[in-house]
């Protein structure tokens, strides 16, 4: 028995020893799996730009190197051209991110922004003949296609891309706070799974901005957001007017009423939930788009006159930015007050005939009432570049215009009436192009080859 104990003792020491010595020979640590920690590629200037401009400030990853696991596996796709990467991202920064940052602050943007953008060079071709422009996944990732063919100087190209992003970003915000359920009731009977077979015009007439809007309440909501932001207020109002005409033609309830109702919900949601002034955001997006390329437009001088888009320019002092014009205006007001005791109120410029410019002066009696109108008429020489040269002011009654008031205050108005005769002037939009976010446009009578935004007024 003693022996057994002795041998057991030996064993109890030897066995663990032997096990230990065996285990020492095994490799229990295989090291990290290959590729753990992501791909290692040597950073290029593009990578550095992305890091400095997007990743560090906004915690946002951009993937432009092809990675089959980030895209649909059943499509033939190619990666972006490297020279497209920074221009496209800069456009996204300027048109999508900056307006939100300015309107809602950097914290909002850092918190809510999609965390990953994946760029693909080609479109994704669908078997039904359509192409995919973008996709979003789980509120985190946005996939953008057709990067190689996007011209970042072309407004339509940029709008299409930004529209995709705004759409997906709308979803992301909705995942945090849902849109108000009352929104769903506005066009509740016209949502359909068969949206691909609905025409654009039919969707307009029923109070939707796109056929895709009809697929679900949430899609309707983000399509509204994307449309309003990329089209601007003026563009949206044009769409509403067009849709309304279609609804009337089809004997349906007013599409304008429905669309304006939806618009109000969107604006209210952004105010209440995110403390964002949506109209101001809209203006910022439009300004950014205008900075890339203004909406194509006809020169104002071709759109101004009797029977044309604009028939008058209503000049008001509070619109002015030109110190020279304010000086001229004040001098005229002072002269008018001194010579006639009346108060200069505002000016209306119109072109009832192509060779005739009418300067209508609204002035008030010494006590502020009543209001009088005086018409000063000029013969106009229209130059090929759209500028106008004026003859001497005409005070004789003609073409149905009575000139008695004009005669009565002509000495007081002399600084302004002389100015017309002495200068070559040209009509143009404020800033050189229409503001795509405004329904009512501001224009100006500028000095040809001289000061821009000189005599500003509302175009009517």
Partner 1 sequence: MNNFMRKYIIAILSIMLLTTACKKKVDAVFDQSPDERLAAVINAFQDKLVKQTDGWKVLVKPLTPGSYPFYMKFTNTNRVTMLSDISDSAAGVPRESSYRVKALQQPTIIFDTYNYLHVLMDPTPAINGADYGVGLVSDIEYYLPTTLIQALQGTKPDTITSMALKGRYNGADILFTKASPAEAASYNNGDLRKLRIAVNNYSATNLHRLYMDFGDGVKVLVTIDLANRTVSFFWIKNGTAFSFTSTFYFTLDGLQLGNAFNYNGTTIITKILWDNIKLSGTGTGAAVPIQISATDVYPLHVLIGTTITGINLPAVTSFPGWSDDFKARRAAVATALINGPYGLTLDEMDFSTFTPNSDTLYVVVFQGANGYLAQFYYTYTKTPAGVFKFTMTGTDGNASLIVGSMAPLLGQRINVDNFTVDYYNDPVEGQLVRFTSVQHPDFAFTGRPR
Shortest distance (Å) from residue 10 CB to partner 1:
7
- Smallest separation, CB 45 to partner 1 (Å): 12
Nearest approach in angstroms of CB 119 to partner 1 is 10
- CA-wise closest residue to 458 among 436, 437, 432, 430: 430
Nearer to partner 1, 10 or 402 (CB): 10
Q: Pick the closer one to partner 1 by CB: 70 or 112.
A: 70
In sign, the C-alpha dihedral spanning 390, 451, 446, 382 is positive
Report the residue number, 30 or 296, with the smaller CB distance to partner 1. Answer: 30
CB of 310 to partner 1, least distance (A): 36
Measured between alpha carbons, how far is 392 from 237 in angstroms, rounded to an integer?
Answer: 42
Going by C-alpha positions, the residue among 369, 367, 366, 373 that lies closest to residue 408 is 373
From the CB of 448, what's the least distance to partner 1, in Å? 42
CA-CA-CA-CA torsion sign (277, 102, 232, 117): negative
Distance CA 87, CA 100 (A): 20
Which of 421, 409, 419 minimizes the C-alpha distance to 338? 409
Tokens representing residue 417 in the block: 């009436």
Q: Which residues contact 252 (CB under 8 A, 6 or more apart)?
A: 205, 206
Decide whether 42 or 369 has the Cβ nearer to partner 1: 42
- Can you tell me the distance from the alpha carbon of 145 to that of 158, in angstroms, rounded to the nearest whole number? 13
Least distance (Å) from partner 1 to the CB of residue 60? 20
In angstroms, give the least distance from the CB of 162 to partner 1.
Answer: 22
For the four alpha carbons of 201, 206, 211 and 213, in that order, the dihedral sign comes to positive
- Give 458: exposed, middle or buried? Use CB within 10 Å, 0-12, 13-18, 19+: middle
CB of 158 to partner 1, least distance (A): 20
Of the pair 3, 422, the CB lying nearest partner 1 is at 3
Residue with Cβ nearer partner 1 (27 or 422): 27
Q: Which is nearer to partner 1, 150 or 259 (CB)?
A: 150
From CA 230, how far away is CA 291, in angstroms rounded? 14
Q: Measured from the CB of residue 117, what is the shortest distance to partner 1 in angstroms?
A: 15
Beta bridge partners of 348: 314, 360
Dist. CA 118–CA 77, nearest whole Å: 13
C-beta closer to partner 1: residue 129 or 370: 129
Nearer to partner 1, 57 or 123 (CB): 123
Question: What residues contact residue 112 under an 8 Å CB cut-off, 6+ apart?
Answer: 169, 172, 173, 176
DSSP string, 283-312: HHHHHHHHHH-PPP---GGGSBSTTSSB-E
Note the residues at the interface with partner 1 (CB under 8 A).
3-4, 7, 10-11, 14-15, 18-19, 21-22, 25-27, 30-35, 39, 41-42, 44, 64-68, 75-82, 121-123, 125, 127, 129, 148-149
CB nearer partner 1, residue 80 or residue 99? 80
Q: How far apart are the first and last CA of the chain?
A: 119
Q: How far is the CB of 30 from partner 1 (least distance, A)?
A: 5
Question: What is the DSSP secondary-structure string of 6-22?
Answer: HHHHHHHHHHHHHHHHH
Q: How far is the CB of 451 from partner 1 (least distance, A)?
A: 47
Least distance in angstroms from the C-beta of 26 to partner 1 = 6
Rounded Cα gap, residues 172 and 229, in angstroms? 16
CA distance 422 to 165: 52
Which residue's CB is nearer to partner 1, number 45 or number 323? 45
Nearer to partner 1, 141 or 414 (CB): 141
The answer to whether the beta carbons of residues 163 and 224 sit under 8 Å apart is: no
Burial (0-12, 13-18, 19+ Cβ within 10 Å), 413:
buried
């Amino acid at each position: 028995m003693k022996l057994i104990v002795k041998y057991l003792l030996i064993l109890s020491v030897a066995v663990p020893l032997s096990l230990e010595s065996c285990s020492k020979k095994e490799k229990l640590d295989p090291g990290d799996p290959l590729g753990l920690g992501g791909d290692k590629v040597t950073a290029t200037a593009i990578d550095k730009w992305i890091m400095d401009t997007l990743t560090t400030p906004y915690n946002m990853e951009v993937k432009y190197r092809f990675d089959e696991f980030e895209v649909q596996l059943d499509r033939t796709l190619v990666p972006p051209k490297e020279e497209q990467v920074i221009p496209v991202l800069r456009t996204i920064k300027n048109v999508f991110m900056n307006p939100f940052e300015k309107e809602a602050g950097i914290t909002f943007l850092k918190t809510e922004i999609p965390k990953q953008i994946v760029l693909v060079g080609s479109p994704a071709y669908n078997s039904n003949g359509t192409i995919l422009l973008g996709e979003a996944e789980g509120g985190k990732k946005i996939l953008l296609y057709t990067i190689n063919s996007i011209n970042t100087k072309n407004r339509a190209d940029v709008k299409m891309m930004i529209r995709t992003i705004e759409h997906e970003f709308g979803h992301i915000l909705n995942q945090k706070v849902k849109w108000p359920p009352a929104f769903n009731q506005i066009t509740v009977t016209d949502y359909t799974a068969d949206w691909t077979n609905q025409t654009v015009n039919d969707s307009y007439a029923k109070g939707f901005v796109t056929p895709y809007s009809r697929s679900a309440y949430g899609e309707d909501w983000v399509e509204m957001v994307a449309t309003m932001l990329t089209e601007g207020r003026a563009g949206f109002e044009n769409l509403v007017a067009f849709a309304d005409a279609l609804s009337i033609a089809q004997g349906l309830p007013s599409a304008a009423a429905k669309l304006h109702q939806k618009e109000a919900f969107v604006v209210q949601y952004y105010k209440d939930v995110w403390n964002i002034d949506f109209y101001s955001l809209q203006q910022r997006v439009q300004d950014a788009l205008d900075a890339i390329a203004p909406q194509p437009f006809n020169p104002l001088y071709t759109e101004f006159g009797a029977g044309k888009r604009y028939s008058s320019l209503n000049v008001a002092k509070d619109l002015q930015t030109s110190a020279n014009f304010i000086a001229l205006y004040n001098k005229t007001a002072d002269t008018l007050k001194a010579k006639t005791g009346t108060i200069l109120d505002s000016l209306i410029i119109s072109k009832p005939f192509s060779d005739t410019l009418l300067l209508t002066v609204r002035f008030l009696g010494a006590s502020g009432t009543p209001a009088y109108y005086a018409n000063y008429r000029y013969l106009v020489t229209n130059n090929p570049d759209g500028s106008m040269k004026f003859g001497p002011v005409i005070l004789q009654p003609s073409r149905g215009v009575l000139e008695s008031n004009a005669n009565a205050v002509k000495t007081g108005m002399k600084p302004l009436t002389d100015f017309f005769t002495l200068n070559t002037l040209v009509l143009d939009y404020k800033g050189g192009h229409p503001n795509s976010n405004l329904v009512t446009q501001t224009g100006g009578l500028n000095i040809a080859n001289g000061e821009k935004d000189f005599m500003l007024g509302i175009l009517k």
